[in-house]
Structure formats: C-alpha cells, structure tokens
Amino acid sequence: MWRRCRTWQLNSCYGQSARAFICEWRQAFRRVIVCGVFAAMSCAPLTAASDSPAPPPATVQGAVPESALTTVKLTAEAAARLGIETVPVEERSHAGESVLPGEIVVPPGHRLTVSAPFAGSVSRPRDRDWPTTGQRVSAGEVLADLLPALFDGEGAQVYTTGERIASFKLHADLSTAITDAESQAAASHVQTDAARIAVARAKELLDENVGSRRAYDEATAALATAEAALDAAGNRLKTLRANHADFSAHGLLPLAIHSPLEGVLSNANVAPGMVVSPGHVLFEVLQLDPVWVRVPVLTSDWLRFANATNAAVTRLADPRHSPGSQARRIPAPPAANPIANTIDVFFSLSNPDGSWRPGERVAVKLHSGEAVTRPTAPWSAVVFDIHGGAWVYVQTETFTFARRRVEIEQVDGDTAFIRRGVKLGDRVVSVGVAELYGTEFGIGK
C-alpha cells in the first residue's frame, strides 16, 4: 500500500514538471512565430521597393515639352504664301534711354484750403455767381461772403456785446462819412460849375483876340481837375450809401472770402445760407501750374538715372514717336517704396492750360547718359499677346519658327532694343509676323 502511494506521488510530480515544460515550450514557440511574422512584414516593403518602383500618383498621356507649344513648322508652299522673311539679330548701342511709368501729382504747398475765421453765415458774393467745383479762379477772387453773426432758432441774428458796440460805432462812422461825402460832393459840384464858367469866359476872350492862350489852357486844366474831384466824391458817396443800406438790412458788414492763389476750385464744402463754425473748411483750391511727375525707379537702376536732369513726358495714348513735354528734375523730399523696391524721382512739368491732371498715368523717358549695347531686331518683328507680352519668332530650322518672349528696353525709330530673350546671331521673322501668329493660333491662311 505504501508503495502504491509513493508511486502515485512520483507520477504526480513528474506529470506537473512535464506539463510546465510543455507550457514553456509552447510560449517560446509562439514568441518565435510572432517575431518572424513581424520581421516578414517589415522587410516586405523594402524588398518590393528595391525590386520595382511605386506607380506615380498621376500620368499624363502624350506630354509635350513647353518649347514645342510655341513652335510652328511650315511647308515651303505655306512659307511662300505667308511671305515669311527673316533677318539676323544685331547688336547696336543706344544712349541709355528708358521709358518708365510716372504719375502726375500736386506739388506740396499747391493744395490750399480756405477756412472760416469766425462763426457766421455763408452767402453768395455780391454781383457774382456761386463758385462751382472745377471752376478756374484767380488769386484774390471773391468766392463767398461770411456774415459775422450767429442765428437763433427763429432765424434772427444774435449779437454779442462786442458785436453790438462795433455795430453802433460802425453805424455812427458810416453816417458821419456819408455827411462828409455829401458836403465834399456839393463843393466839388460848385467848383466844377465855376471851372466851366471860367473856361467859357477864357474861350470868348481868346476868340476875340483879347485873352491869352495860356489862360484858356489853365482854365481847361482846372475844369478837368474839378470834374475828376466831382467823380471821386460821387463814387465815394455812392459806396458809403450802399454800405449803409446793406448794414441797415443785414447788420454787420460781411467778410469777403478770397481765393489764396490762382488755380482750380477742387472742392466746395458749403452752400449759400449755411451756418459754419470757426475753422470750418469752406473751399479747397489747387494750383496746377506747374505739376510734379513722380517716377518710381528700381533700386537696381538708381545709379543709372541718378544724374538725369531732364525727362520727356508723354501720355499713354500718344503715338510712339511723340516727342512729349519736357520736364525738369527738381529736388524733392526723399521718398521710396520698400515693397516695390523703388526710389521716387520727381520732375517739374509746366501745365499752363491745366491739361495734365493729378493722378494721371504717364510715360517718362529718362536718359542715363551712357551708351548701352543691346541686341536689336526690327520693330515689325515684335508681336504682342492679349496680356501685353512681347514676342518674336526665331527661326530654329528651315521653315521652323519658335515664338520667344522678349523684353523691350527701347524703341528707336523702326529698331527695337531687346534687353533679354534673343541673342546675337538668331534669325527673327521681320515680315509675316502677324500671319505666322495667326497660323499658330488657328486663324491664319
């Protein structure tokens, strides 16, 4: 019995050890399998990438090089029908003239505003129409009248104590001046009558050979002096009476608002009957003779045109050979544009008729003063697309022409100076360019 129990215990111990060994072996086997799977997965893409490249994300069927898009191949018959003629590109020197964009601006100090010196009511100037925007005005011209008084809600004038005292004093002064003018006018009238009698008496004596010619001349001169004094006294009396009547009707006399300079009335901020406060801007006057031309020059070209003293200004619609208007270089406050990388140069342009308008875009021809050598081609060889780009057709083979973009630096007569796009020795089409351009885009012969 004891042996059976002992044998069973041994079998149990050996069985547990065997089962533990089997479990450990199975776990190790599983680890090996898992590591192998991960190794296979990580190595598979590398092997595939090394064997064959991945397919591209997009495929273009029948791709054509960009240079072939602007190439035209003709037959001999088509070239003859279009009348194609070519000339070689040559190098020539020019005086370093460049055409740059410019803008007409108002010079500093030529845009002045007219403000109200005190509170009051604006009225139409006497014996004048109300000025309108765009009207040319002269220096000292009366633009409006300003009544130095305020108004209450019912439209009645309200005066301060000082204004009332000034009003009474002015009324008294006007009355006294009118009295003096009346007496002076009466005296001048009597003196004129006496002078006329003296002239008539001297004339009778001279006709009877009793009087002298000298006496007659002196009497005539005295009459002219008396008549002039009578006219002056009459005009003074008339003016004083008109001022007195205006003062009686409106109170204080209005202040005339004058134009500070000769120019164009660019803005009117008031209307007749408008009540304004002190410092209110009434009018704005622009003096447009002369005007300034602002020319932005690239910093890379600044040294070329640093000594340019004169320029020719033309409108964008003027013919290509137009001489333009001469402008003179002036010292102006330094200005530049860091975004556009340009430095502003200013020229003074005469504008007596006001034809140049502020803000107008113009073309400015500048001379650098030094000769520059550039490839040249006939002006007839240049064709422009709808976007303003300049192109020429270069002959690459017999009856084969490639369209190339060029940058025109200057045009002198029938010759175009090209900054970049062609080189010396290229043959460009000079006759039949428009026909070749139409053939390329399907509208040719």
The values of phi and psi at residue 134, to 5°, are 90, -5
In this predicted model, what pLDDT tens digit does every residue of 189-205 receive, in sequence order? 888 888 888 888 888 88
Question: What count of other Cβ atoms lies within 10 Å of the Cβ of residue 434?
Answer: 12
pLDDT digits (tens, 9 = 90+) for 156-179: 555 555 656 666 666 677 677 778
Ramachandran assignment for 341, one of left (phi > 0), alpha (psi -120 to 50 degrees), beta (any other): left
pLDDT band at 381 (very low <50, low <70, confident <90, very high): very high
pLDDT tens, position by position, 28-42: 666 656 555 555 555
By the 8 A CB rule, do 272 and 122 touch?
yes
Threshold 0.85, pTM exceeds: no
Over residues 89-139, the pLDDT tens digits come to 998 887 667 788 899 998 887 888 888 887 778 888 877 788 888 888 888
Rounded to whole angstroms, the maximal C-alpha distance in the chain is 205
Residues 6+ apart with CB under 8 A from 427: 86, 87, 88, 89, 394, 395
- Say how far apart CA 37 and CA 99 lie, in whole Å: 74
Please tell me the CATH superfamily of domain 97-108+288-367, with its number. Answer: Efflux pump adaptor protein, beta barrel domain (2.40.30.170)
Residue pair 419/410 in contact (Cβ under 8 Å)? The answer is: no
Distance CA 125, CA 17 (A): 127
Q: Assess contact for 259 and 278: CB atoms under 8 A.
A: no
Q: May I ask the CATH class of domain 69-94+372-440?
A: mainly beta
Q: Output 158 or 14, whichever has higher pLDDT.
A: 158
Q: Is the pLDDT of residue 376 over 60?
A: yes
State what percent of residues in the chain have pLDDT above 90: 11
Confidence at residue 248, expressed as pLDDT on a 0 to 100 scale: 58
Question: Residue ranges of the domains in the chain?
Answer: 69-94+372-440, 97-108+288-367, 156-253
